């Protein structure tokens, strides 16, 4: 049986950190995961643990942490909805995937958001992350903005840019 509960940074920190290398390397191709990142991530978790506009949850199964959810709220600019909720991070242990834990976590986050008066949940996901994209579609999320990118070529030895294409 899986239950979602607030994260205890001291008890769950290591298990949550263990899920992050794949999460970041999947979503940000070429990302250099290392000790500096872990320090900064841990610092941000400590900050988020203070109960104000963010909340951290874990999914627990037989006493083991098998998933993580980081929810936040933001004051939306250019929107008639002053408060929106945001999924900042969701991850499930590789050996526990496709068992409904990701879905359970996001639904928990949606209830958290509604309880805070947020009429909308927002999130960002990398297009190549097929599992996450499928999960969000399955839960009713749709694309309302594109974030676009264009490689500008590589820097040559002399420091100039070599254009692509």
Shorter beta-carbon distance to ligand COA: residue 14 or 152: 14
| Residue from 25, 134, 143, 155 in contact with ligand COA (CB under 6 A) | 134
- State which residue, 10 or 127, has the beta carbon closest to ligand COA: 127
Helix axes 9-18, 20-27, angle to 10 degrees: 50
CB of 103 to ligand COA, least distance (A): 3
Binding track, positions 102-131, relative to ligand COA; x by CB under 6 A: xx---------------------x---xxx
Binding-site member from 22, 38, 40, 81 for ligand COA (CB under 6 A): 22
Contact 2, 101 (CB under 8 A): yes
Shortest Å distance, C-beta 105 to ligand COA: 7
Determine how many CB atoms are found less than 10 A away from the CB of residue 68: 25
Quote the crossing angle between the two packed helices 20-27 and 35-49, to the nearest 10°.
110
Binding residues for ligand COA, total number by CB under 6 A: 22
Phi, psi (5° rounding) for residue 71?
-110, 150
Going by the DSSP 8-state scheme, the letter that residue 153 receives in this structure is: -
Binding residue (CB under 6 A) for ligand COA from 21, 26, 42, 84:
26
| Nearest distance, CB of residue 6 and ligand COA, angstroms | 19
Task: Work out the angle at residue 67's Cα, subtended by the Cα atoms of residues 66 and 69, and round it to the nearest 5 degrees.
Answer: 160
């Amino acid at each position: 049986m899986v239950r979602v509960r607030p994260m205890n940074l001291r008890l769950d920190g290591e298990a949550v950190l263990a899920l992050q290398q794949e999460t970041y390397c999947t979503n940000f191709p070429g990302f250099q995961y290392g000790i500096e990142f872990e320090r900064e991530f841990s610092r941000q978790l400590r900050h988020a643990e203070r109960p104000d506009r963010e909340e951290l949850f874990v999914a627990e199964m037989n006493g083991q942490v098998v998933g993580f959810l980081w929810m936040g709220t933001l004051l939306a600019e250019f929107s008639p909805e002053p408060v929106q909720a945001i999924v900042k991070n969701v991850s499930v242990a590789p050996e526990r995937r496709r068992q409904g834990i990701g879905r359970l976590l996001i639904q928990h986050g949606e209830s958290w958001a509604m309880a805070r008066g947020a009429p909308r949940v927002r999130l960002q996901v990398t297009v190549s992350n097929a599992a996450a994209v499928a999960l969000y579609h399955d839960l009713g999320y749709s694309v309302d903005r594109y974030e676009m990118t264009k490689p500008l070529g590589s820097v040559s030895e002399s420091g100039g840019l070599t254009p692509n294409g």
